[in-house]
């Protein structure tokens, strides 16, 4: 079914129940507030600002958006971009776009002006919704957005070069536009995270979106009693497709604007959240805050919290061991996916398989998986090869890039570019990105394996391993290490710790610095390689 059918079903059957809650623990006096003022919530001596909408209101707002767009000529096949921070406006606008038959085009809120322009041009965007945080960036390129005929501003104090969406939409009918849609209709254009270069435009149809909702609900068993806490940005497939499990089950979700350990745990307690998706750095920060005594769990209501799951990056076994020490009753799952496979779920661990922590898991609901060599042949179990996935959530294509599409789509199989291996029990372990493999002296090094080892060091908060050019070995492994606040650690300490690795896997260069991650938690290795490309490395400088 088209993904919009699920929203309309929920509006009919659960119309008066709350669908979405927005929590902002840090609303500044100058913040532009939309729709209606936040209500002030006090708990434990702290304040937060809260607002919510029901399923009926959610659907009505989507319909008003659709009817406004159609009055301005937006029709099936047009493309409408969304450049907004998380909030109650985001999802009704997304579904309003889909209800017209147009394609939603979510944009990364970290994009600079030229990147916004590039993505709008690549996706042939006809209209753009943007919020207060992006006025300067949009104004900088407004004269170059030649194809974009409609600019809708979502907030107060509308700039002169745009129209005030909230004022306009209030005057349009809340009834459905009744545009017929099928599963095979194009639905959305997402952009790759850019970890391997400039983002590509990824085209998905309604079947992809609907399947991701079924996958999420199947994996985590959402019921209407569950409450999902969503923290990552909604422009990314990971956050939205995890929320699709709430859409499928008709259950409530909470959008939290703030990622401190205190705000996360307080929101879980106040809103009685049962399912929480975290990125590795956030989970580590929560554990560190508990261990330092900054957070008193006894004052929080966390008994209802049943599932913590992590995606977007490999999860250190040591992290989950620590987590279970503090939260022994939690179920745990990890998800693997990429935007080309409509985000998380094509591979997942499964809540019943916590004894296999370290693996990304087994094929997800409705998915097939292979591990292949350079010829496209299956490798033997235990051997490293490229992970390939097949299922209803595979993208249609890279939009306007036939060559790139041919490189990754083969008879319905998506070649992910990730290197993996499968153990005798059928569990899949992610080894590394194909393009991140380091070849040093003829040996293949997989950075993720070295990173997982280093994260076990008690002083290390985060680590990234990259390849740096070397005149004799071709490349060497360099470890960029971010220490925990207040931790003391030297290069000699790290070198001594790495004696637990085979000699050829030991990092040959240690750099103490911050590890940059994008909003979905992935290490920005192209940025690191660019930052340290000028490092002068000669044979005499490399310890071996």
Supply the CATH number for residue 485's domain.
Answer: 3.30.300.30
Task: Decide if 348 is inside a domain.
Answer: no
Task: Decide if 55 is inside a domain.
Answer: yes
pLDDT at 539 over 50: no
* The predicted structure's pLDDT at residue 154: 97
Residues 65-91, mean pLDDT to the nearest whole number: 97
pLDDT at 372 over 70: yes
pLDDT at 98 over 70: yes
Task: Decide if 104 is inside a domain.
Answer: yes
Task: Decide if 280 is inside a domain.
Answer: no
Task: Decide if 291 is inside a domain.
Answer: no
Contact yes or no for 30/264 (Cβ under 8 A): no
CATH number at residue 46: 3.40.50.12780
Question: Which band of pLDDT confidence, cut at 50, 70 and 90, is reported for residue 32?
Answer: very low
Lowest mean pLDDT among 257-266, 267-276, 463-472: 463-472
pLDDT at 542 over 50: no
Residues 101-125, mean pLDDT to the nearest whole number: 94
Of all residues in the chain, the percent with pLDDT exceeding 70 is 90
Lowest mean pLDDT among 23-32, 118-127, 507-516: 23-32
* The predicted structure's pLDDT at residue 430: 83
Question: Which band of pLDDT confidence, cut at 50, 70 and 90, is reported for residue 448?
Answer: confident
Query: pLDDT tens, 215-255?
Result: 999 999 999 999 999 998 899 888 899 999 999 999 999 99
Residues 517-525, mean pLDDT to the nearest whole number: 76
Query: pLDDT tens, 149-195?
Result: 999 999 999 999 999 999 999 999 999 999 999 999 999 999 986 54
* The predicted structure's pLDDT at residue 29: 38
* The predicted structure's pLDDT at residue 540: 32
Question: Which band of pLDDT confidence, cut at 50, 70 and 90, is reported for residue 446?
Answer: confident
Determine how many CB atoms are found less than 10 A away from the CB of residue 160: 5
Provide DSSP, 173-196.
--S-------TTSEEEEEE---TT
* The predicted structure's pLDDT at residue 281: 77
Determine how many CB atoms are found less than 10 A away from the CB of residue 239: 23
Question: Which band of pLDDT confidence, cut at 50, 70 and 90, is reported for residue 501?
Answer: confident
CA nearest neighbour of 476 among 448, 500, 509: 509
Domain boundary among 167, 189, 205: 205
Task: Decide if 191 is inside a domain.
Answer: yes
Instruction: Using the structure block, give the residue that is written with the tokens 């000529």.
Output: 73
Task: Decide if 386 is inside a domain.
Answer: no
* The predicted structure's pLDDT at residue 541: 39
- Average pLDDT over the chain, rounded to whole? 89
Domain boundary among 157, 183, 205: 205
Domain count, the chain: 2
Query: pLDDT tens, 471-493?
Result: 767 788 999 999 998 899 999 99
pLDDT at 544 over 50: no
Three-state secondary-structure class, residue 169 = helix
* The predicted structure's pLDDT at residue 39: 56
Contact yes or no for 89/78 (Cβ under 8 A): no
Task: Decide if 447 is inside a domain.
Answer: yes
Query: Buried (b) or exposed (e) across 119-130, using 16+ Cβ within 10 A?
Result: bbebbbbbbbbb
Residues 133-154, mean pLDDT to the nearest whole number: 96
Domain boundary among 181, 205, 229: 205
Q: Which domain holds residue 127?
A: 3-205
């Amino acid at each position: 079914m088209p993904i919009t059918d699920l929203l309309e079903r929920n509006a009919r059957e659960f119309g008066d129940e709350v669908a979405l809650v927005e929590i902002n623990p840090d609303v500044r006096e100058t913040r532009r507030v939309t729709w209606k003022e936040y209500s002030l919530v006090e708990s434990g001596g702290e304040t937060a600002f809260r607002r919510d909408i029901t399923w009926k209101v959610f659907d009505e707002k989507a319909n008003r958006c659709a009817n406004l767009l159609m009055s301005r000529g937006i029709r099936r096949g047009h493309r409408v971009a969304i450049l907004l921070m998380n909030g109650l406006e985001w999802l009704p606008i997304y579904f309003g776009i889909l209800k017209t038959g147009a394609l939603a085009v979510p944009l990364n809120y970290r994009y600079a002006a030229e990147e916004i322009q590039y993505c709008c041009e690549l996706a042939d965007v006809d209209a753009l919704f943007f919020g207060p945080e992006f006025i300067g960036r949009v104004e900088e390129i407004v004269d170059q957005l030649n194809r974009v005929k409609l600019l809708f501003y979502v907030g107060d104090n509308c700039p002169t070069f745009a129209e005030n969406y909230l004022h306009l939409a209030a005057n349009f009918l809340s009834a459905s536009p009744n545009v017929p849609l099928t599963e095979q209709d194009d639905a959305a254009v997402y952009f790759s995270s850019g970890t391997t270069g400039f983002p590509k435009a990824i085209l998905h149809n309604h079947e992809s979106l609907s399947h991701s909702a079924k996958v999420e609900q199947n994996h985590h068993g959402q019921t209407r009693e569950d409450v999902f806490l969503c923290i990552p940005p909604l422009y990314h497939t990971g956050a939205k497709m995890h929320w699709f499990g709430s859409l499928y089950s008709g259950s409530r979700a909470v959008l939290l604007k703030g990622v401190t350990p205190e705000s996360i745990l307080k929101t879980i307690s106040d809103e009685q959240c049962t399912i929480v998706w975290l990125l590795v750095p956030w989970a580590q920060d929560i554990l560190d805050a508990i261990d330092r005594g900054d957070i008193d769990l006894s004052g929080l209501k966390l008994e209802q919290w049943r599932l913590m799951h992590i995606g977007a990056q490999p999860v250190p076994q040591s992290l989950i061991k620590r987590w279970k020490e503090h939260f022994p009753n939690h179920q745990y799952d990890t998800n693997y996916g990429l935007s080309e496979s409509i985000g998380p779920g094509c591979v997942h661990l499964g809540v019943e398989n916590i004894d296999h922590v370290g693996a990304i898991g087994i094929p997800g609901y409705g998915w097939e998986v292979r591990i292949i060599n350079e010829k496209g042949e299956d490798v033997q179990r235990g051997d490293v090869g490229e992970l390939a996935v097949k299922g209803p959530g595979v993208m249609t294509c890279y939009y306007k890039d036939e060559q790139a599409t041919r490189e990754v789509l083969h008879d319905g199989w998506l070649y992910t570019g990730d290197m993996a291996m499968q153990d005798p029990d059928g569990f899949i372990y992610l080894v590394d990105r194909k393009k991140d493999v380091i070849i040093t002296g003829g040996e293949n090094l997989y950075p993720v394996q070295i990173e997982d080892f280093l994260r076990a060091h008690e002083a290390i908060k985060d680590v990234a391993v990259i390849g740096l050019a070397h005149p004799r070995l071709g490349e060497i492994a360099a470890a960029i290490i971010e220490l925990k606040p207040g931790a003391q650690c030297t290069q000699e300490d790290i070198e001594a710790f790495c004696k637990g690795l085979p000699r050829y896997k030991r990092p040959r260069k240690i750099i103490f610095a911050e590890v940059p991650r994008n909003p979905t938690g992935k290490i920005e290795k192209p940025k690191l390689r660019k930052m340290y490309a000028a490092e002068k490395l000669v044979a005499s400088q490399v310890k071996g």
